[in-house]
Amino acid sequence: MKEHNWIKIALTPFSWVYGLITNLRNLCYDYRLFSSGRPSQFVISIGNLTVGGTGKTPVTEYLTKLFSNKIPTAILSRGYGRKTRGFLLADPASTPSGIGDEPMQYFLKFYPDVTVAVSENRFKGAETIAVSDPDKKLLLLDDAFQHRAIARDVNLLLNDFQRPFYKDLPFPAGRLRENRNGARRADAIIVTKTPALLADDVRKDITMQLQRYSRPETPVFFSFIEYGQPESYAGDVLSLKKVKMAAGIANPLPFSAHLRARFDVTDEVVFRDHHNYTSADVEELIKNLKNDTFVVTTEKDMVKLKPLVEALGVAGKFAYIPVTVSFGSDTGRFHEWIFKQTAHLFQAER
């Protein structure tokens, strides 16, 4: 612990330099020295100040379900971890290595109603979607809080309950992509991964801490993760007892805690975030696996593992836990706020 603190102290001056550079970059956008392109779609950005693991994917899926049956919707992501470059439109031939694991998850869930695309340049990506799918009036930007080259109409900032940005530092001493004052660009802040029951005094304290860095009028909403029943890789609901956890996500601790609270966890295998699985990984996961035990993964891992386990004929040994986000007692307040921001889109559809 002491060694970790000394390393953090030693790296802090570099964090100051990094924070200064990001501040200067943001000032260039604020004073229009750098330009932001405005696409034809109404744009909602979902992002964070922290590197990885704040729950952007469940929130993006939540908004997709909320809007896509009312407003023609597209999702645009960078496609982190993909082995390709440039703009790609997801289609039935797409793979996680081609478009990234999270865009692949969106595609499998929402195709054909929702357009899913990836592009490093979000503005050019939005323009390309506007040409190929001109009916898409709403564009959800996954992980684009720092991508200021594209203008957005609603800027949602996520804050992990367990790792709040107001207690963190910029890279390399911390996990922040920019200084805390970047929160002033947020139109709303969503606290993610909270306990399902959160005391009012805790909510008030977190809100006060967040609003030290955001604009005073910025609303704060609280959300938590709901874990579904285990499903086979074929989509069938299962009743499990013994499980072996496998996860390649930024923060596997909540997933591990959920499994340990409900199942007999015989082993845990943790890979780095966005791990590109191989057949060798699959064979290692099922090595010495007993007949009454399933390898249980997250949904993001399932997207990449499914083709491999099917090719090896061992899909029957794998299951995953689907997750959704819930706003609990904040549901009505959040819906009222987000629908107010997008009210003109519904008027245009009439």
Binding-site sequence positions: 50-57
CA dihedral sign, ordered 123, 125, 128, 129? negative
d(CA 116, CA 102): 10
CA dihedral sign, ordered 17, 272, 255, 224? positive
Give the list of residues 6+ apart from residue 234 with CB closer than 8 angstroms, or none.
315
Q: In this structure, are residues 230 and 237 in contact, taking their beta carbons and an 8 Å threshold?
A: yes
> How close are the terminal C-alpha atoms of the chain, in Å?
60
Q: In this structure, are residues 106 and 46 in contact, taking their beta carbons and an 8 Å threshold?
A: no
Angle between helices 56-67 and 331-341 (to 10 degrees): 70
Residue numbers belonging to the annotated binding site for ATP = 50-57
d(CA 81, CA 237): 30
Q: In this structure, are residues 191 and 159 in contact, taking their beta carbons and an 8 Å threshold?
A: yes
Q: Among residues 299, 288, 291, 298, which one has the least CA distance to residue 240?
A: 291
Give the list of residues 6+ apart from residue 285 with CB closer than 8 angstroms, or none.
244, 246, 269, 295
> Containing H/E element for 73?
strand 73-77
